[in-house]
Amino acid sequence: MTKTTPGIETLAVHAGTAPDPTTGARITPIYQTTAYVFKDADQAANRFALAEPGNIYGRITNPTQAVLEEKVAALEGGTAALATASGHAAEFLTFHTLMEAGENFVAGRQLYGGSINQFSNAFKSFDWQVRWADSEDPQSFEKQIDDKTRAIFIESFANPGGIVVDIEAIAKIAHAHGVPVIVDNTLATPYLLRPIEYGADIVIHSLTKFIGGHGNSMGGLLVDGGTFDWGKSGHYKKLTEPRPDYAGLVIYEATGNAAFATAARVLGMRDFGPTISPFNAFLILTGAETLPLRMQKHSDNALAVAQYLEKHEKVSWVNYAGLPDNKYHKLQQRYAPKGAGSVFTFGVKGGYEAGVKFASSLKLFSLLANIGDTRSLVIHPASTTHRQLTDSQKIAAGAGPDVVRLSIGIEDIKDIIGDIEQALNQI
């Protein structure tokens, strides 16, 4: 019998989720425990030394969490994963694993606002310096790389929505300089785009968004692509130097193509502790089973809304890569031909007042600061998330006075467009 790789719909349902080995329960139980009993002192000693795999304490591993990790690693085509309390925790642990004080990384400027804050403010305390490049211009990354650069960070579908990044071109540049590429794949998800196939070495997710998909749980995750040679440069000390805390073990020698995820767990997670709760892991696992169905519906609905808005007299522009005349359409067709995702921005004629009026007149849509829910969501950034910025800062951040951001849900498209129509009529 020839072995075929299961399709993504099959992986979403089955990857990681074998029946429970002790009870036969078909659905992965919520293992609501903090610690695990050792058979004897030898077993305990071996587990602490990483000489034998197995659970020790809930900060580091949990069986419900392990199933979620295996599922998302399979969906992304990676070798291992580490789930975390939030997307931000996954970003933090990723950089903690790669960086020492005084080193830098290059990030595309077009990012989730929270990531911009984390990189430019919180990381200062660790002396990890961020250098900004333009996600639309791969060459701009090369210009920022020097001998202290340890990674490149981009989003696949970049914020504030509508931008598709040329991962392959950026990965070529990164690898020519011996640094790994980290891709935040939150907006695209592995159903639409699998960054590792285009040269990404690490993929990170806010599971809070589409993978969980129902707006009920915070969670994050990093995927180890198993692709990067950590030993080559000697720059990634946490992976390549003997660990006194693990009896002299060298993590990349001991754990091979899962070295990055292992180090993030046994060093970063162990010492900082942003653990996902077993209950959240369970809810996100349930959500992940329907990821392919939901992402297709999100994308189909978003395309229909973009096409509707494009023709509307009160709309001045629509930035959705699924539209044939959009400047990212070619990249979308190449990287994510199944769809351009759920999140995009458009401009209302009449500026700030019109934006506020539109957002507050919607009835089916929820006005809130989130994306990736089954429900349709809206935000007017200039009056909410970006309120504190000056007008010119707002425009630079893609949050000008007329900008409205939509996260299109999986409701009946006629109800979604009906709601948008009545709200546009209020302007």
Interface residues with ligand PLP (CB under 6 A) are 86-88, 112, 114-115, 155, 184, 186-187, 206, 208-209, 218, 220, 371
Q: By C-alpha distance, which of 243, 221, 181 is closest to 75?
A: 221
Q: CB-wise, 187 or 318, nearer to ligand PLP? A: 187
Number of H helices, E strands in the chain: 18, 14
CB of 209 to ligand PLP, least distance (A): 5
**Closer residue to ligand PLP in complex, CB, 141/157:** 157
Amino acid, res. 171: A
Residue closer to ligand PLP by CB (options 208, 262) is 208
The least CB distance from residue 210 to ligand PLP, in Å, is 9
Least CB distance to ligand PLP at residue 107 (A):
12
Q: 89: which 2 tokens?
A: 């925790």
346/407 Cα distance (integer angstroms): 12
User: Are 401 and 352 a contacting pair, CB within 8 Å?
Assistant: yes
| Closest to 153 in 3D by CA, of 87, 201, 113, 192 | 201
Identify which of residues 219 and 226 has a Cβ nearer to ligand PLP in the complex: 219
Which residue, 316 or 385, has its beta carbon nearer to ligand PLP? Answer: 385
343-348 β-sheet, strand order = 315-319, 343-348, 403-407, 377-379, 366-367
* Residue number, nearest CB to ligand PLP: 87
CB of 372 vs ligand PLP, minimal distance in Å: 7
Q: Where are the alpha helices (DSSP H) in 206-290?
A: 237-240, 251-255, 259-263, 270-272, 278-288
Nearer to ligand PLP, 209 or 235 (CB): 209
| Beta carbon of residue 135, minimum distance to ligand PLP (angstroms, whole number) | 12
**Residue listed under structure tokens 């006075």:** 401
Closest CB 40 distance from ligand PLP, rounded Å: 40
- CA 351, CA 177: separation in Å to the nearest integer? 44
